[in-house]
Amino acid sequence: MSRTNADIARTRALWTANKPGETGAPAYEPNPPVPWQVALALAAALLWQSSLGASLQFRGAGISFVPLIVAWYAVRMGWLRGLTFGLIAGACEDALAGSTGAAWTLATGLIGLACGRLRGTWFADTRLALVPGAALATFLRYCAFAVAMQSEGRPLALPLTHLHVALWQSAFGAIVAFVVLRLFPRLGAANPHRR
C-alpha cells in the first residue's frame, strides 16, 4: 500500500520534532515480524530439514533455512531478541541432531547476536546486502559450529570434512534469500531505526 503525502508529512514532522538538527525522515513504516509467523516458519524449517529435506540434497548439502530465518529476524528486532531466537532455534537443531551437544545452540545464538547488531543500518533493508548476507550468515554460523564442536572435544577434521557442505549451503541460502525477496519484497523493507 502506498503512503499518502499526509502520512509522509506526519512522519517527517515527528522525525524533525525528535531530531531537531536533522531534516531527513525514515522512508518506510515500521514492519516488525509477527511472532507466531516467525515461530511457524522456524518449526516448518526444522521439520523440512529433518525429514523430507534430507532426501533432497546436492553434493551432500541441502537448503538450511534456519540461519536465514534467524538472521532475518535478528536484523529487524535487534541483538537481544536475535540472540534469544538464535539460541532457541539452535537448541531445537541440537535436539534433532542428537550428537552435536550445544554447538548449534551457540553458533546460531552468535549469528542472531551478530545480525541483531546490524539492526537499523543499511545492511538491514538493502536487498543487495541481504542476499550475500544470507550466505555469509550461513557460512559464519558453520564456522562457529566447527569451533564449538572442537571445544566440545570433537576433532577439527570432522567439520573440515563438511566444509564443502557449508559452502553449498551458503550458496543455496543466497539463492533462497534472493527468490524470497523477489517474491515478497515486503520482507526486505526497512525498519524505523534506520540511521
Partner 1 sequence: MIVAAAIALIQLDSLKTGKPSVIAVAVTSIAVFAQEAGAAAGTFARGAAASVANAPRLAEQNAELREKDRLLRIENARLREALAAAPDARAIAALAEQTGAGTLATIVGYDPESVSRSVTIDRGSLAGIAPGDGVMSDGGVVGRVVAVAPLSSTVLLVTDGASKVPAVVERGRWWGIATGTNTAIRLEYVSQDAKLKLGDIVVTGEGRSFHAGLEIGRITSVDHPDGALYQTAIVTPSVAFGRLAHVLVLRHS
Q: Name the residues that contact partner 1, by CB under 8 A.
A: 43, 46-55, 57, 60-62, 64, 66, 80, 83-84, 87-88, 90-102, 104-106, 109, 145, 152, 154-155, 157-159, 161-162, 165, 169
- 46 C-beta neighbours (distance < 10 Å), count: 19
- 14 C-beta neighbours (distance < 10 Å), count: 12
Least distance (Å) between residue 76 CB and partner 1: 17
147 burial (CB, 10 Å; 0-12 / 13-18 / 19+) is middle
Check if the beta carbon of residue 11 is closer than 8 Å to that of residue 58. Answer: no
Nearer to partner 1, 14 or 97 (CB): 97
Check if the beta carbon of residue 189 is closer than 8 Å to that of residue 153. Answer: no
Cell of 156: 577439527
Check if the beta carbon of residue 23 is closer than 8 Å to that of residue 11. Answer: no
Partnered with residue 58 across adjacent β-strands are 61
Least distance (Å) between residue 158 CB and partner 1: 5
Nearer to partner 1, 139 or 188 (CB): 139
Q: How far apart are CA 126 and CA 122, in angstroms?
A: 6
Least distance (Å) between residue 30 CB and partner 1: 23
Nearer to partner 1, 51 or 126 (CB): 51
Least distance (Å) between residue 155 CB and partner 1: 8
Least distance (Å) between residue 69 CB and partner 1: 13
Nearer to partner 1, 72 or 142 (CB): 142
